[in-house]
Each structure stands twice: as C-alpha cells, then as structure tokens.
Amino acid sequence: MTIKTGDTIPLATLNTLKDGVQAVTTDELFKGRKVVLFSVPGAFTPTCSAKHLPGYVEKMDAFKAKGVDVACMSVNDAFVMDAWAKSQNVPAELTMLADGNAAFADALGLKFDASAFGMGERAQRFALYADDGVVKVLQVEAPGEFRVSSAEAMLAAID
C-alpha cells in the first residue's frame, strides 16, 4: 500500500557516506524535524542531474528559511550518492541517502521495476514533506513527468 498524507514514515535504514558508510534510520531523519525528502530514479540520470537535484541545491536557502531540512534519496549505493553530490556541488546540509536495495521505496509503496531499462528496482520520482515523521504533503510524479516533486512545487506546497 502506498503511503499517504497523514501516515507516519515507516521505519527503515538508509545509508550515507560520512567517514565511511553510515547507516541512518528514518527515525533519526524525521523525528522532531521538518523534512522534505525527494526521490529520484537514479543518480547521474538525465532529469535527475539536470533538473531535480540542481533545483533543490538552488533553493536550499528558501527551505532553511522555513526551518525545513532537505534529503535526496535514490536506489543507488552510498558511494554513488556521494560521487553524485560532489559532481553537483551539493551543500553539506542537503542529505544524500542511499536506498541500495529499494527497501525504503518498497516500504513507502513507491517502488517500480525498471528492469526493461537495465536499472532493476527503483524508487519512483516523488517528494514528500513530513513534520515529526508524519507525512503532510506527498507529491508523486506520473511516469516520465517532472513537475510536482520539484523544489519549487514543494516550496509552494508547504507554504
């Protein structure tokens, strides 16, 4: 079942690269915080690298002004997410999260099979806003679209 507004973020473990691979739980990410989590189908892919991640990098100050933390998730490993962050000049305050086996995407009900494109299981393109672990806004893109999960759309949705 797909997560929806009003639901609590499911408990899961993701990875990030800080002095080696570090496990981080969704409780650590969301409890007591306001967070926008956006998900991309893959690091270094065209729309993700040209539009999705750069939009959040550009709008980090606007999210910070609202007291909102930002995290990016993809079904890649922590090393790939770190290399992508470096290539995109991602500021340290934008957390890059690896969902290597798509376990969190699956727990959210937002996993899809991209095997036909040689990419295996992936997370759908989406963005959510959670306050203290409760989803307040969920914007899931239609296949092939990039509109509702952009930084601009999320800033407008959490006003």
pLDDT digits (tens, 9 = 90+) for 58-77: 999 999 999 999 999 999 99
Handedness of CA 97, 100, 102, 107 (dihedral sign): negative
d(CA 121, CA 102): 7
More confident residue, 44 or 112: 44
Q: What are the residues facing 24 on neighbouring strands?
A: 14
The structure's pTM equals: 0.94
d(CA 40, CA 20): 23
Q: Is the pLDDT assigned to residue 88 strictly greater than 70?
A: yes
Q: Tens digits of per-residue pLDDT, 91-121?
A: 999 999 999 999 999 999 998 777 677 676 8
pLDDT at 118: 66
pLDDT at 131: 98
pLDDT at 152: 97
Three-state secondary-structure class, residue 119: coil
d(CA 79, CA 98): 9
Asked about 72 being catalytic, the answer comes back as no
Taking Cα atoms as reference points, which of 53, 55, 41 lies closest to residue 123?
41
Q: Is the pLDDT assigned to residue 38 strictly greater than 90?
A: yes
Sheet with 34-40: strands ordered across: 21-25, 13-17, 94-98, 69-74, 34-40, 126-131, 134-140
Q: Where are the domains of the chain?
A: 13-157
Per cent of the chain over pLDDT 90 is 82
CB atoms within 10 A of CB 97: 20
Q: Does domain 13-157 have CATH number 3.40.30.10?
A: yes
Q: How many helices (H) and strands (E) does the chain have?
A: 7, 9
Catalytic residue, chosen from 14, 36, 37, 48, is 48
Taking Cα atoms as reference points, which of 150, 96, 141, 138 lies closest to residue 123?
141
Average pLDDT, the chain: 94
d(CA 22, CA 96): 11
pLDDT at 144: 87
- Lowest pLDDT segment from 51-60, 75-84, 116-125, 140-149: 116-125
Handedness of CA 5, 145, 15, 49 (dihedral sign): negative
